[in-house]
Structure 1
Amino acid sequence: MSSLPPGELAAFLAVSQHGGFRAASRMLGQTPSALSHAVAGLERRLKVKLFHRSTRNVSLTEPGRRLLQRLMPALSEIGLAVEELHEQSTSLSGLIRINCDANAAEQVLMPLLTRFMKLQPTMRFEIRSEGRLVDIAEGGYDCGVRAAELVPDEMVAIAIGPDQQHIVVASPAYLDGAPAIKIPSDLSLHQCVQLRMASGSIYRWEFQRRGEDVVVTTPGNLVVDQSRLLLAAALDGIGLAYVTRWMAADALANGKLQQVLDDWTPPYPGLCLYYPRHRHFGSGMRAFLNFLKAEGSLRAAP
C-alpha cells in the first residue's frame, strides 16, 4: 500500500480525539467539510469504514478503533521527540536545590555541576551542605547526594562518583616509635582523633577483611566535627585519623602521611544523587539527570 497522506491521518486523529467533525474543525482551523473529505479519502484508501456517522453523533467503528490504538504509541513518540527538540533548542531555566554532605559536594558534585552549568548557563543551583541526614522532600530539596548505603530505599539513585575508601593515616613522626598496628584492636594503644557526628555521637571506625566486619570504639583526646580537621590533626602529628583516601591523597603522595591497616579498609560503593521516585520534574531537572546518567556511562566505558 502506498504511504498515507499525513493530512488524512491528522483529520482521522482529530475527529477521533474530539468526538466529531465540528469540534475537530475548531481545533485544526479547518471546515467540517474539509475534514469529512479527508476522512472519506482515508477510508477509500484503507477500504474500511472508520466512523459511524449520523446527524447527532460520530463514533469509531471497530476498524477505526483498532487503527487509533495502533497510532497512539507512534503519536506519543512523536510528541516526546518534539518536546526534546524544543528543550535542546531553547535555554533551560529554573532552580535546583540540592542537599549534600560537604565532602561529597567538594569531591564529586561541584565538578559535575560546573560542567553542566557551562552547557546550560541559565540554570540556577543552590547547594546546602550539612552532615546530618534530612528528608529532602520535607526540606524542599529537589535531590540529595549521599553515600550509596545511606540512600533511602524509596528513592531513585544515580551513581555519580567512583568507589570510596576510608583509611587510617598518621604522620611519620607520630608512627616513629609508636606501638605496631597490625589489627584494629591495636588502635586501643594509640591516640585516635575523634569525629563527632551531627547526631551528637562519636563516629566508630569500621573495618573489613575476608568477610570479617569489625567496628572499633577508638580512644583519643581530640574531638572535632569536620573531616578536614581530622586530616589537619593527623598532619600535625596528634594521632591517627580515619579519613577518605580522596582527602588524604596529596599527603600520602608527598609522604606527609602514611597509611596503616591497609588490608582492613577495602573500597565500598560511592556517592549517589537521589530523588523521590514519583516527583514530577521540569525540563531543567530532567536535563540535569540525563547529564548525570551520561557522565556515569562515560566513566563506566572501558
Structure 2
Amino acid sequence: MQLSRANLADFVYFLAIARHQSFSRAGQEVGISASALSHAIKGLEGRIGVRLLNRTTRSVTLTAAGEELHQVISAPMQKMDQAMEVLNRYRDEPTGRIRLNLLSDAADLLLGPVLPVFNDRYPEIQVDVTATNLIVDVIGGGHDAGIRYGGTVPEDMIAQRLSADIRWVVVAAIEYLQRFGTPTHPTDLLRHRCLRIRLGNGNLYDWEFEQQGEQIAIAVPGMITIDETRAGLALARQGAGLMYLPEPVAAPLIERAELVTVLDDWASVGPGFYLYYSSHRQLPTGLRLLIELIRELQPLG
C-alpha cells in the first residue's frame, strides 16, 4: 500500500490515540471530535484490511498490528514534527501550538503574568495548558514540556530554570492563632491542626524547616489533606489549620491581612520552577519564545 495524504493524516490520529488511549482526549489534541476520529481510524483499518485498535466502552488499546505500526511510525512522525519546527524559525510570524503540563502554582505565578504578553507578541501561537499536581509522563501524555519545582524534574529530561529559588512559609488565619496559639518552633506543629500535603506521587510531604544550618522535617498531624494550593488557601482563610506553601502564593493574602506567617525564622528555601522536555526532541520554536519571555519578564525574579 502506497502512502497517501489520507493515510498520513490518519497516522497522526492513530499516534494521538495510542498516546492517550482515549478517543476524546486524542480528539482534543488533534482538533477533531471523538466520533470523527473514530470514523477516520475505521477508514484506515478498512483500507489496510487490518484492525489496529481494540475498542470497548471503557478503554482503547492497540492490537498486535497496532503495536507494531506504532513502533514503526513513531520516530519518523517525530522527525516530521521537528522538521516543521525548523521551518518555523524562518517564518516572519511564529505559529503553531505548544502544550504544557504544569503545577497550579506555576500557572498562577509564572504563566498568569506572562501569557497575556505572550499572546500579544505572538498571536499565531496557541498555548494548551494542563494544570495538575500529579506526576505524569508529560511527553507520553502528548505535551511538549512540563513545569515543576527543580527538585521534582525527572532525571532523563533537559531542564531550564525559569525562576529564582522560592521561600516556603507557614501561614494561618488570625482566628486560628487566637483559638489554638502560635507555634514558635517547628516541633510545636505536632500539637496543631495542619493542612497536610499530598504530593503528586501519592506520598505525604514532611514540612521542611531550617535555621542557622539546622534542618528539620516534620510529619505534621491533621485531619485534612490537600493536593492543590488554592484549595488549601480557601481552608486556611477559614481557620481550618496551618498551611505550608510558597511565599509568593501567600503574599497577596498576607498583604490584605487575611493570613499571617508564623515560624518566620525557620522558613526554608527550595528550588524554583524549571521547564523540562525530552532530550530526544527538538525544542519547539513557540516553547523557546515562551522561555525567553518568562526570563525577560521575571515574574518571580
TM-score by length of 1: 0.64
Pair 1:147–1:168, CA change in 2 (3 A): same
From 214, 229, 232, give the equivalent of 2:231. 229
From 132, 146, 149, give the equivalent of 2:148. 146
Q: Secondary structure at the match of 2:166?
A: coil
Number of the residue aligned with 1:116: 118
Pair 1:197–1:268, CA change in 2 (3 A): closer
Pair 1:105–1:291, CA change in 2 (3 A): closer
Contact 1:230 1:242 in 2 (8 A): no
Q: How does 1:166-245 map to 2 (within 5 A)?
A: 166-176=168-178, 178-245=180-247
Q: Which amino acid aligns with 2:292?
A: K
Number of the residue aligned with 2:75: none
Pair 1:183–1:276, CA change in 2 (3 A): same
Task: Give the Å deviation of 1:180.
Answer: 4.3
Pair 1:294–1:232, CA change in 2 (3 A): closer
Give the number of equivalent residue pairs: 216
Q: Which amino acid aligns with 1:219?
A: P
Q: Could you report, residue by residue, the CA deviation over 1:233-289 in whole angstroms, capped at 9, with x for unpaired residues?
A: 2111122111221221122112221111112113322111111223124xxx22531
Number of the residue aligned with 2:49: none
Task: Give the Å deviation of 1:222.
Answer: 2.2
Number of the residue aligned with 2:26: none
Number of the residue aligned with 2:292: 293
Task: Give the Å deviation of 1:150.
Answer: 1.3
Number of the residue aligned with 2:95: 93
Pair 1:291–1:196, CA change in 2 (3 A): closer
Q: Could you report, residue by residue, the CA deviation over 1:23-50 in whole angstroms, capped at 9, with x for unpaired residues?
A: xxxxxxxxxxxxxxxxxxxxxxxxxxxx
Number of the residue aligned with 1:8: none
| Distance in 2 between residues matched to 1:203 and 1:139, nearest whole Å | 25
Task: Give the Å deviation of 1:121.
Answer: 0.9
CA RMSD of aligned residues (A): 2.7
| Distance in 2 between residues matched to 1:173 and 1:249, nearest whole Å | 18
Pair 1:287–1:137, CA change in 2 (3 A): closer
| Distance in 2 between residues matched to 1:136 and 1:85, nearest whole Å | 25
Number of the residue aligned with 1:46: none
Contact 1:174 1:239 in 2 (8 A): yes
> Which stretches in structure 1 are left out of the alignment for 5+ residues?
1-82
> Which stretches in structure 2 are left out of the alignment for 5+ residues?
1-84
Number of the residue aligned with 2:256: 254
Number of the residue aligned with 1:65: none
| Distance in 1 between residues matched to 2:264 and 2:198, nearest whole Å | 24
Contact 2:157 2:276 in 1 (8 A): yes
Q: Which amino acid aligns with 1:105?
A: A
RCO higher in 1 or 2 (8 Å CA, sep ≥ 6)? 2
Number of the residue aligned with 1:107: 109
Q: Which amino acid aligns with 2:143?
A: Y
| Distance in 1 between residues matched to 2:297 and 2:240, nearest whole Å | 41
Number of the residue aligned with 2:128: 126
Task: Give the Å deviation of 1:182.
Answer: 1.8
Task: Give the Å deviation of 1:188.
Answer: 1.0
Q: Secondary structure at the match of 1:229?
A: helix
Q: Which amino acid aligns with 1:151?
A: V
| Distance in 1 between residues matched to 2:88 and 2:126, nearest whole Å | 20
Contact 2:88 2:94 in 1 (8 A): no
Q: Secondary structure at the match of 1:90?
A: coil
Q: Secondary structure at the match of 1:255?
A: coil
Q: Which amino acid aligns with 1:98?
A: L
| Distance in 1 between residues matched to 2:249 and 2:293, nearest whole Å | 26
| Distance in 2 between residues matched to 1:86 and 1:217, nearest whole Å | 50
Pair 1:192–1:299, CA change in 2 (3 A): closer
Q: Secondary structure at the match of 1:223?
A: strand
Number of the residue aligned with 2:21: none
Task: Give the Å deviation of 1:192.
Answer: 0.9
Pick which of 193-202 and 164-173 moved more. 193-202
Task: Give the Å deviation of 1:299.
Answer: 4.3
Task: Give the Å deviation of 1:197.
Answer: 3.3
